[in-house]
Chain A
Amino acid sequence: MQMQSQGGAVLAIPQALVTQDAPEASARTKPLVRMQHISKVYSNGTVALRNLNLDVEQNEFVSLLGPSGCGKSTALRLVAGLGGFTRGAIDWPTSTYDAYGKPEREVGFVFQEATLMPWATVFDNVYLPLRLKNMNRKAVTERVKSVLELVGLDKFADSYPRELSGGMKMRVSIARALVTQPKLLLMDEPFAALDEITRTKLSNDLLDIWRKAQCTVMFVTHSVFESVYLSTRIVVMAARPGRIVGELPIDEPYPRDPSFRMTPRYSAHCREVSSLLDKAMNS
């Protein structure tokens, strides 16, 4: 089923990015990640995913939407290489593979909690991925500062996580995920713990960052509205066993701003996604 919608997903790529990327257009025919027949059974016997097929195209913003326990987090973790799967294959057609057959995953991961090191400053938290890649602190100072600027926290480089609000911590977490300039940004309900106002603000900022950084985003959410507002494509999943029940391209232009939420097209998309989600819940 994802084969049919693949064309839709390509069309849904924001106009701005298509024009910016025109010379590389041929590369886009290859998906960034290809998940084929993925099954994952946890050691306690829970079938978290069964026969999942999903292509993530370059530069798209794809949301995974579904009821609790349908394996959204599991799918995201598998793409990140955190934990193995029982059956199937995950390919990175555009990445190089090392001698052990491991793809060079250029991913950033934003977890539901900010997961910052409380003993380290904002700067050091964002520097962490580079430190783990043996990059000299002095050499990357500018780079860390520029991502902090991107998320609007350049003034807080020397603060400790406890001195920040929940929304600011999440921004640090996003900065940490972006600092390696990943091709794919994985986000697991990053705004779930935040209040409505902060969430709206961060959603807009995220779209901004996505366009500036020209990366691909896989975004897990519970919220129909959030997914319609953000995504180029929505993948709806059902639980027990976790699987994809359908997907919808959100073929709307970017930049999207809050006025998009007022349009009839937005409401139409929301209704469509909701009914698909209903089907997923009852199947």
Chain B
Amino acid sequence: MSLENTLPLEGEAASDEAQTPPRRALLDRLLPTIAGLVFLLGWEGLVRGYNISKFILPPPSLIFTTMIAQRDALLRSLQFTATISLSAFCLAIVSGVTLGVLLTQSRTVERTFWPYAVAMQVTPVVAIAPLIIIWVGLDRVWLALLILAWIVAFFPMLSNTAIGMKSADHGLINVFDLYGASRWKKLRYLQLPSAMPFILAGARISSGLSVIGAVVAEFVAGSGSATGLAYMIIESGTMLNIPRMFSALTVLSLFGLTIWHITSAVQRKLLSKWHESELKQEN
């Protein structure tokens, strides 16, 4: 920090330093925004300049006005999709971490069930979607969607937890053994903290996958009973209402972004004190 003040001329080198000056932080935020604006302006200009039909590529301004006009429908769809994917995400965290911990408690258990966990992951969820929908019944499509989104989001949580539980430092295991730590204490004070970075990384992947799972499942379920953003996209497509389609798409990606940022913030908060991935480099 003092280096920064005493060497004002080395602005460039100094701004790479650890104590990010506010100017740098501002730039970090500003640059993506500027890039986005340029992109949108270019898009708008292109559509107007070449007179592209709004049935093929609507200009951002039209998408924006459509979003405002359709806000009730959009919000209702968002609510549906958000409920499904967030519930699936929470279920995935709870079940993935629990099973990941249980799985690593015994080598036999792990060897027995691991192949099936992998099988569950490599099966494309679309392939079992019709089956699940039939099983659950069309009158409860939301449940089918929840199950499908959960299956997709579950595996990264499971595998990351399992890997994390086994990542405990060998020297530290010795320390715990030396003091005769019980299995529970080892779990609580050694394995879980060691697994935390892995679990959080898994949660970040899983959060995105839960949205993808919900959307894909809704695509498959199709017909009227599902009322989320994905269905809105299909519906708009069949009605050739491309601006409405784009506005639903925009809301969907904004939702995905929000979840991503929230999980990233949680990760940062929990790991900021000690883990490499969240440490500011201070060489």
- The residues of A with any CB-CB pair to B shorter than 8 Å are 80-82, 107, 109, 111, 113, 115, 117-120, 128-129, 131-133, 160-162, 176, 180
* B275 at interface, CB cutoff 8 A: yes
Tell me the total A-B contact number using a CB cutoff of 8 A: 50
* B176 at interface, CB cutoff 8 A: yes
Q: Distance in Å from the Cβ of B21 to the closest Cβ of chain A?
A: 22
Chain A residues whose CB sits within 8 angstroms of the CB of B181 once the complex forms: 132
* B279 at interface, CB cutoff 8 A: yes
Q: Please, which residue of chain A has its CB at the minimum distance from the CB of B185?
A: A132
**Are A162 and B179 within 8 A (Cβ)?**
no
B171: contacting residue among A80, A81, A107, A115, CB under 8 A: A115
A128: contacting residue among B171, B174, B180, B189, CB under 8 A: B189
Between A82, A117, A120, the greatest number of chain B beta carbons within 10 A of the residue's beta carbon is seen for: A117
Q: Please, which residue of chain A has its CB at the minimum distance from the CB of B169?
A: A115
Within 8 A of A (CB), among B253-273: 273
A107: contacting residue among B169, B176, B178, B279, CB under 8 A: B178
Q: Please, which residue of chain B has its CB at the minimum distance from the CB of A124?
A: B189
**Are B172 and A119 within 8 A (Cβ)?**
no
Chain B residues whose CB sits within 8 angstroms of the CB of A176 once the complex forms: 175
Chain B residues whose CB sits within 8 angstroms of the CB of A129 once the complex forms: 179
* B135 at interface, CB cutoff 8 A: no
Q: Tell me, in angstroms, the Cα distance from A133 to B180 when the chains sit together.
A: 8
Q: Tell me, in angstroms, the Cα distance from A61 to B279 when the chains sit together.
A: 41
Beyond A128-B189, A129-B179, A132-B181, whether A115 also contacts B174 by CB under 8 A is: yes
Q: Please, which residue of chain B has its CB at the minimum distance from the CB of A114?
A: B171
Q: Tell me, in angstroms, the Cα distance from A160 to B273 when the chains sit together.
A: 7
| CB pairs A–B below 8 angstroms (7 shown) | A80-B178, A82-B177, A111-B174, A115-B171, A132-B180, A176-B175, A180-B179
* B193 at interface, CB cutoff 8 A: yes
